[in-house]
Structures are given as structure tokens and as C-alpha cells.
């Protein structure tokens, strides 16, 4: 079986593979510090359950990553994935300046991927992304093992930031 014929396992990053608890302080209050929030991402500890699931998925699937992080964070994100020993795979990121809700941007990419490949599973912590993906017919694993954060939920859905 070639890499291009294997089904895809699609993983979110923040609060799915990466523990963002230490940097959520930058999202509290009206003056959110997005530069500091993203600058702290390379120090995210891995979330063991998410990492285990990604490694197990790699046995049958090609693992790829779908994040709401902006494109300007690509180098830090790819370095972080490699340091955690996660499977190498393509990373889809939000275009810089794209402020659409995460559920819209992610579903758009999932549908595009599904045109050419079977998507075995989406693993994500965002309830709205998960709901919309399930309604669209995708199999979803809800990442409930991260630290829940109202500011992060707001950022994902209404501010289009991550």
C-alpha cells in the first residue's frame, strides 16, 4: 500500500496533542496578547493521550495535522511535532489574517481532503468543529483530555484565531 492510498487520520494540535494550559493566561481579559500566546506554543507539553492516539493511528493511516494556528507559526509547529516524536505528516494551517470560525475553515479542508482520500478519523477538542464534522459524515474522536478553556473556545469560534 502506498502512502497516497492509506486513509488519513487528521489531528488537531491545541488541546488535542499540545497542552496549552500554560499559555491560556494570554487570552484572559479584553486585551488578548496573541503574539505572546503563539510565541509560547513551542513550550507546550505534549498531551499523552493525544500522542498515543496519533502513534497508534500511524500504524494504519497517514497522520496529518489540521490546526487553526496561523501560517506564521509553521516553523515552530513543525519543530514541536518533530520534538514530540509524532508521525511526520503534512500540516494544514489557517492563512494569516483568516478570521473565519474554526469549524468553517477546518470543515472546508476536511472536505477537500476527502475528495481524494478516505478520512478514517478526525481528532479535535473543539465541540463545534466535531459537531459539524460528524454532521458532514466524518468519524470524530473528541479530545476531552486537554484543559478546557473558555477563552480558547472564544478564540476558535468567534475570533478566528486558533
Q: Tens-of-pLDDT digits for all 162 residues of the chain?
A: 445 789 999 999 999 999 999 998 998 888 889 899 999 999 999 999 999 999 999 999 999 999 989 999 999 999 999 999 999 999 999 888 877 778 888 999 999 999 999 999 999 999 999 999 999 999 999 999 987 777 666 665 555 555
DSSP string, the chain: --GGGSPEEEE--BTTTB--GGGGGGGSSSS--HHHHHHTGGGPPB-HHHHHHHHHHTTTSEEEEEEEEEGGGHHHHHHHHHHTTPPP--EEEEPTT--S-HHHHHHHHHHHHHTTS-EEEEEES-HHHHHHHHHTT--EEE--SS---HHHHHHHHTS---
pLDDT score for 158? 59
Amino acid at each position: 500500500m502506498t502512502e497516497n492510498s492509506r486513509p488519513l487520520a487528521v489531528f488537531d494540535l491545541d488541546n488535542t496533542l499540545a497542552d496549552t494550559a500554560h499559555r491560556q493566561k494570554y487570552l484572559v481579559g479584553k486585551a488578548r496578547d496573541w503574539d505572546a500566546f503563539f510565541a509560547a506554543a513551542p513550550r507546550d507539553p505534549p498531551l499523552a493521550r493525544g500522542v498515543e492516539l496519533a502513534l497508534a493511528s500511524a500504524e494504519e493511516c497517514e497522520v496529518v495535522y489540521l490546526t487553526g494556528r496561523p501560517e506564521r507559526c509553521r516553523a515552530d509547529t513543525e519543530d514541536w511535532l518533530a520534538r514530540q516524536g509524532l508521525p511526520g505528516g503534512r500540516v494544514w494551517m489557517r492563512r494569516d489574517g483568516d478570521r473565519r470560525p474554526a469549524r468553517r475553515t477546518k470543515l472546508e479542508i476536511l472536505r477537500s481532503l476527502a475528495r481524494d482520500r478516505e478520512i478514517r478519523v478526525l481528532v479535535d477538542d473543539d465541540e463545534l468543529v466535531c459537531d459539524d464534522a460528524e454532521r458532514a459524515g466524518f468519524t470524530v474522536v473528541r479530545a476531552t483530555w486537554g484543559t478546557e478553556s473558555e477563552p480558547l473556545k472564544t478564540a476558535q469560534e468567534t475570533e478566528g484565531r486558533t
